[in-house]
Structure 1
Amino acid sequence: MSSSGPSKMTGTKDEVLGSAKATIGSTIGNHQMEAEGHTQNKGGTAQKEAAGTKQKAEGAGDGLFGHMQKATGQVLGNERMQGEGEMNKAKGTFKSDTA
């Protein structure tokens, strides 16, 4: 996992903490805390969605690279390149499917 860019883990953390903060703020009548909680929760949701979109795009790129690599291997008669291409295609599919 990269330290830059959106993160599903950080997004989930912000969703949960924001929801808790909003609930506590509402319960004790602290409207500022409640509003901050809602904002943090929505920011976490947005971050998770952005991380999923990024992962799908990376998966599509890996899949395309794998397809090209496999085709090139076939043209050159290079079985190793064909195998690596198939692996990269599978990696791309997995990334996209788990986003």
Structure 2
Amino acid sequence: MSSTGKYYQGGAKETAGQALGNQQMQAEGAARKQQGNAESQATNNSTKDSLRDKANTYIGGAKETIGSAIGSEQMQAEGRERKNNNI
């Protein structure tokens, strides 16, 4: 089940537990909701990291190439470092 599905399923179970006065159901729902939220956050962070790494690779490569074209060893080194270390 997707993280979003877990979040909404947990919310529904938590609400049902509240309505029925069932503390166990309410706690299980809250836990499931929290699990879905945590998984969603982890996915978002992973996507951001991946995009950042790709951007650093492309930008570093471009900077390295431009540095080579204009004869700037410093620019080449900075580009190479950014590309290889994803900084």
TM-score > 0.5 by shorter chain: yes
In structure 2, the gaps of 5 or more residues are 1-22
TM-score (norm 1): 0.62
Displacement after TM superposition at 1:90 (Å): 1.2
In structure 1, the gaps of 5 or more residues are 1-28
Segments of 4+ moved more than 2 angstroms: none
RMSD: 1.7
> C-alpha offsets along residues 5-58 of structure 1, whole Å, 9 cap, x if unaligned?
xxxxxxxxxxxxxxxxxxxxxxxx610110010010111011001100001001
The answer as to 2:47 corresponding to 1:53 is yes
> C-alpha offsets along residues 39-80 of structure 1, whole Å, 9 cap, x if unaligned?
101110110011000010011111110000000000011111
Q: Tell me which residue corresponds to 1:21.
A: none
The answer as to 2:69 corresponding to 1:68 is no
Find 1:44's aligned residue among 34, 38, 51.
Answer: 38
Q: Tell me which residue corresponds to 2:72.
A: 78
Higher relative contact order (CA 8 A, sep 6+): 1
Larger radius of gyration, structure 1 or 2?
Answer: 2
Displacement after TM superposition at 1:91 (Å): 2.4
Which amino acid letter does the alignment assign opposite residue 36 of structure 1?
A
TM-score (norm 2): 0.70
2:66 is paired with a residue of what secondary structure? helix
Alignment length, in residue pairs? 66
